[in-house]
Structure formats: C-alpha cells, structure tokens
Amino acid sequence: MNSSKPVNAMLFTMLVWGIAPAFIRSLSVELGAANALVIRYTLVSIGYAIGLLIAGLPRFQPGDWPRILFVSLIGVAGYNLGSVYGFALLPAGIGGIIIGTQPLLIVLIASLFSRTLPSLAGVSGLLLAFAGTAVLFLKGLIFSDDSRALTLGAIYIFLSGIAWALYVVLVKPLILK
C-alpha cells in the first residue's frame, strides 16, 4: 500500500471540512437557509441514489430499522438543519470554531453511552478545549452589534454538533455489521 494515500485522504478531508463553514454560510446567506437545504439534500440524494444503484442496495435486518431511522432523523437531519440555519446567523469563522467541538462532543456522548469516564488527561483536555472555544466565541460576541442573532446561531450550530455526535456514536454498530 502506498503510504501517502492515508495522508492524502486525511489532507483532503481536512480541506473539505475546513472550507465547509464558509461554503455553508455563503449558501445559507445568499440562497436562504431553507433553499440551501433543499438544494443540498437534492444533490446529495441524487448522488447517493446513483451510488446505491452501482454498489447495490444494502441489506438491513428488521431490528436495525429503528436505529437507522433515529440516526438519520436526529443525526443527519439535525446536523444539517442546525448548521445551515446557524451559519445563516453566524460568521463562518466563529461557526467553524463552534462546529470544531464535534470531536469533543463525540467523546462525551460515547462516554455517556458506554458508561466509562475518559482519563484525567482526557477530561482535562475536554475542559480546556471547551473553555478555549467559549473564550473565542465570547470574544466575537462582545464586539458584535447583533449578539442575539449570534447567540441563536451559535446554539443552532452547537446543537448540530450534538446531533452529529449522536449519529457517530449510534451508527457504529450498524457500520460494524
């Protein structure tokens, strides 16, 4: 295996996720949040439908459907709704900082579901990271003329991160199957 493939894949992923806040914000502002969602879901649905036709339809066990529906509605829809409406109210830089808490939220939610605590270093890192995010967000909020819209946008984006974290944690058993 070529050792540069994993690094290139990681760099590509970082690029896509790095520009996502600016892209989502510009679509949400220019088109309106609802229109941005319709366009986004339509294009993605067409792409996934083509992928399913090429790869074949997955076979799910009947007992998997409640989890599939839950992670689809809460995780995917919750993430997209929260991020698109949040970025319509919040600058991409501040929103990107908030959406960057997703890995932290994944650790917290995984810990809750597994009923295990992160290590002391892990807890310290989580507290430090959340505190840093709060400081950076509050700095942007203090110098803003419309702190109510910023706060609402921040709440939407943070809730979208929680939705995505739930998705990541709850979909794992389905992916392992």
For 146-177, what is each residue's pLDDT tens digit?
678 888 998 999 999 999 999 999 999 888 88
Torsion (CA) 170, 77, 17, 148 in degrees, nearest 10:
-120
pLDDT of residue 145: 64
Cα(104)–Cα(106) distance, integer angstroms: 5
pLDDT of residue 129: 87
pLDDT of residue 160: 95
Q: Are 87 and 149 in contact (CB under 8 A)?
A: no
The structure tokens listed for 26 are: 């510009």
pLDDT of residue 141: 60
Burial of 144 (0-12, 13-18, 19+ CB in 10 A): middle
For 48-103, what is each residue's pLDDT tens digit?
899 989 988 778 888 999 999 999 889 888 999 999 999 999 888 888 888 888 88
Cα(99)–Cα(170) distance, integer angstroms: 19
